[in-house]
Amino acid sequence: MAIVNLKKVSYKYPLTDSLALNKVDLQVKEGEFVAIIGPNGAGKSTLCYTLAGFVPHFFKGELTGKVEIANKDLALSALNEWVLNVGLVFQNPFNQITGAKYTVYEEIAFGLENLGVPRDEMKKRVDQGLTMTGIRDLADRSPYSLSGGQQQRVALTSILVMQPKVLVLDEPTSQMDPIGTREVFGVIRSLAERGMTVIMAEHKVEWVARFADRVVALYEGRVMMDGKPREVLNSERLLGKGFGISRYTSTAREAVKQGLWPKNRDLPVTLDEAVAGFKGGRK
Amino acid sequence: MKIKVNDLRFTYPNGVEALRGISLKIESGEQVAMVGQNGSGKTTLVKHFNGLLRPTSGSVLIGELDTRNKKVTVAKLAQHVGYVFQNPDEQLFSRTVGDEVAFGPRNLGFDSQKAQKLVDEALALVELSDKKDTNPYDLSPTWRKMVALASIISMDTDVAILDEPTTGQDAANVARIAHVVAELKKRGKTVITITHDIDFCAENFERVIALSQGQILLDGPANKVLGREEILAQTYVDPPQLARLGKRLGLKKTVRNQDELLGALKKH
């Protein structure tokens, strides 16, 4: 049973003529971890905003087709109901952090305060959240004294404590170092395993290959491919369009020409696949 | 323009000691990448190069200018050191792309002919010549980054600092930024970048400085530094993808790009 159901969704921002999303169909099952890849301008952020209800409730513009999440129709739902089901983590944590709170702890509690969650429950959830994302030691710091990666984990935690059914993330690791990236992917993977549905726009294809269940390739507002990471990420169809390609994939593609990679072997996306293929290729 | 840093220490007003004794020299025309985990001191260090921060102790010399001297203002240093922020929205304020990119050279007092030439060249380099009259905020964040980049290139400074230039950029734009770095190198400029994008670093920068907890962990040629997997792990830097692949395949030398890897495999 799909918890996210998009049918022929098209969208135009106000005062523009081109479609930012063009007849997008997307079904996501409960507990699935779906990565959205695509060049800049492909519609990844717009799709994230649509899932989170910011399109059309905040950005206005023209939305057609059907957006359903947890059996609720976006067109018939107010934003304050919608956010109970869907949480959005922005690409840039500066855009998410409220600026109204002096400590990380209070920042994370902010959404819960607005939802009117009782005090004891609020404390419990904030404590759990801090542990889950590994930022307990930052609880008393000012959100503005933190590095980009730390701020992003605060932003993620402030959404997680609201316990959304569907978590949407717009390139959450773009400000992060490898350990931050690893931690965020690790946290998200474990959330998906515990039944949370995750939809994440992301450029880092090697990470996507290792962690996501499914990959959707967006191009010019349309779904160009939708499948298992290994069916999508090494596809020739991604070439020349600005999609991120793993260096293992592009190097192996060149190596085929030079006789260093077996012709009939699938191109690698991850390091392990590349090692196995190159070792096999030289025998 | 040479940069000399001598036993630099810096403590933020909240008591966090971000730099704990940094010494280094950057020669004119070098391409240097600073790597290291979030909070290792990379941004704090480079903010000393344009005077946004001043040493708590130790010294920073930009050419002959000693930044400990308060008369060496940020405005004065801006004639020599350009800084492209990680988030373009922190630096863009003009109504059109053309005005934005012209602000720097006009502010430095170049005559209008020279300023115009610098603006045109900078816009051409980042492929924004046809967007001169566009409001920067009508462009996507990706292209706003290119506007920010152009607004520094147009100042024609000896040193350009690029703070996380590839963050949030797609493959096509990363290639454009690499092209900008190569062009600045050709013009004899010093380019200093802060980056988590270790593959971008390997492919475009000859010298790599790894920082950890406010100190220099490694400093040297990219193919030496990026091969030191165990030491880099201390500051949570993974070697570049192809360097890791080369190592797993038994190559002795650290490779920096596809050609080096395939070349080495042929001989292997």
* Domains identified in chain B and CATH numbers: 1-80+158-171+190-237 (3.40.50.300), 90-156 (no CATH), 238-268 (no CATH)
- By Cβ distance, the residue of A38, A245, A251 closest to B242 is A251
Span A71-88, average pLDDT: 93
pLDDT at residue B162 tops 60: yes
State whether A88 and A57 are in the same domain: yes
Alpha-helical segments (H) within chain A: 44-51, 54-57, 79-82, 104-115, 119-132, 148-160, 178-193, 205-211, 229-232, 247-257, 271-281
CB pairs under 8 A between A and B: 99
Domain assignment present for A253:
yes
| Of B94 and A281, more confident | B94
Same structural domain for residues A179 and A133? Answer: yes
Structural domain containing residue A262: 246-283
CB burial of residue A101 (10 Å; 0-12, 13-18, 19+): middle
What share of chain A in percent tops pLDDT 70?
99
Note whether B203 contacts A: Cβ–Cβ < 8 A: no
What distance in Å separates the CA atoms of residue B145 and residue B148, rounded to the nearest whole number? 5
Residue type for position A245: I
Q: Are A229 and A261 in the same domain? A: no
pTM (2 decimals)? Answer: 0.84
- Domain containing A185 — which CATH number? 3.40.50.300
ipTM: 0.81
Please check whether residue A241 lies inside any domain of the structure. Answer: no
Both A144 and A200 in one domain: the answer is yes
Distance from CA of B133 to the nearest CA of A (A): 17
pLDDT digits (tens, 9 = 90+) for A125-158: 999 999 988 889 999 999 988 877 788 889 999 9
Bigger pLDDT: A26 vs A41: A26
Cβ of residue A73 closer than 8 Å to a chain B Cβ: no
pLDDT of residue A82: 93
For residue A17, is it within any domain? yes
Does the pLDDT at position A186 exceed 90? no
**Considering only CB atoms, which chain A residues are within 8 Å of B169?**
40, 203
Tell whether the model's pLDDT for residue A282 goes beyond 60. no
Q: Nearest 5°: CA angle at A76, between A74 and A80?
A: 70
The answer on A128 and A22 residing in a single domain is yes
Does A254 contact B262 at a Cβ distance shorter than 8 Å? yes
If asked whether residues A89 and A190 sit together in one domain, one would say: yes
Asked if residue A41 and residue A170 are part of one domain, the reply reads yes
3-state secondary structure of B190: strand
For A161-206, the DSSP string reads TT--SEEEEESTTTT--HHHHHHHHHHHHHHHHTT-EEEEE-S-HH
From B25's Cα to the closest Cα of chain A, the distance in A is 25
**Does A171 reach chain B within 8 Å, measured CB to CB?**
yes
User: Looking at the structure, do residues A192 and A254 belong to the same domain, yes or no?
Assistant: no
Angle (CA) B143 B82 B127, round 5°: 30
Based on the domain organization, do A18 and A127 belong to the same domain? yes
State whether A20 and A140 are in the same domain.
yes
- B140/A41 CB distance under 8 A: yes
Low-confidence winner among A115-129, A139-153, A203-217 (lowest mean pLDDT): A139-153
A229 CA: distance to closest CA in chain B (Å): 18
Query: Phi-psi category of A116—alpha, beta or left, where left has phi over 0 and alpha has psi -120 to 50?
Result: left
Taking CA–CA distances from A281, the nearest residue in chain B reads: B265
pLDDT band at A283 (very low <50, low <70, confident <90, very high): very low
The number of folded domains in chain A is 2
A98, A121: one domain: yes
Are residue A220 and residue A254 in the same domain, yes or no? no
Residue B165 has a pLDDT of: 94
> Which residue of B170, B172, B238 is in closest CB contact with A178?
B238
C-alpha distance from B173 to closest chain A C-alpha (Å): 8
